[in-house]
């Protein structure tokens, strides 16, 4: 896998972690919400390329839903790199 792709995955994972933390969402409940184990969530937040794109897409989808976005939150803008 090209190093540029790995760098973007790490950035995306890091930004997803930031978004979760800004919403004060614990690992356990966020993992349950997106349907993965806590270790898989931690790997996703590190940008692990072995985590399925479906997991990344589900996390992005939850962040884009109004009920998942905290009042005054940054929405998806925090995920842009």
pTM comes to 0.78
Contact status, residue 18 vs residue 74, Cβ threshold 8 Å:
no
Give the pLDDT score at 78: 46
Give the pLDDT score at 80: 47
Give the pLDDT score at 81: 43
pLDDT tens per residue across all 81 residues of the chain: 899 999 999 999 999 999 999 989 999 999 999 999 999 999 999 999 999 999 999 999 998 886 654 444 444 444 544
Give the pLDDT score at 65: 81
The dihedrals phi and psi of 24, each to the nearest 5 degrees, come to: 55, 40
């Amino acid at each position: 896998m090209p190093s540029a792709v790995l760098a973007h995955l790490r950035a995306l994972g890091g930004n997803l972690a930031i978004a979760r933390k800004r919403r004060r969402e614990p690992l356990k409940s966020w993992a349950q919400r997106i349907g993965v184990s806590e270790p898989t969530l931690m790997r996703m937040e590190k940008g692990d390329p072995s985590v399925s794109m479906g997991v990344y897409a589900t996390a992005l989808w939850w962040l884009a839903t109004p009920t998942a976005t905290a009042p005054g939150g940054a929405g998806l803008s925090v995920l842009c790199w």
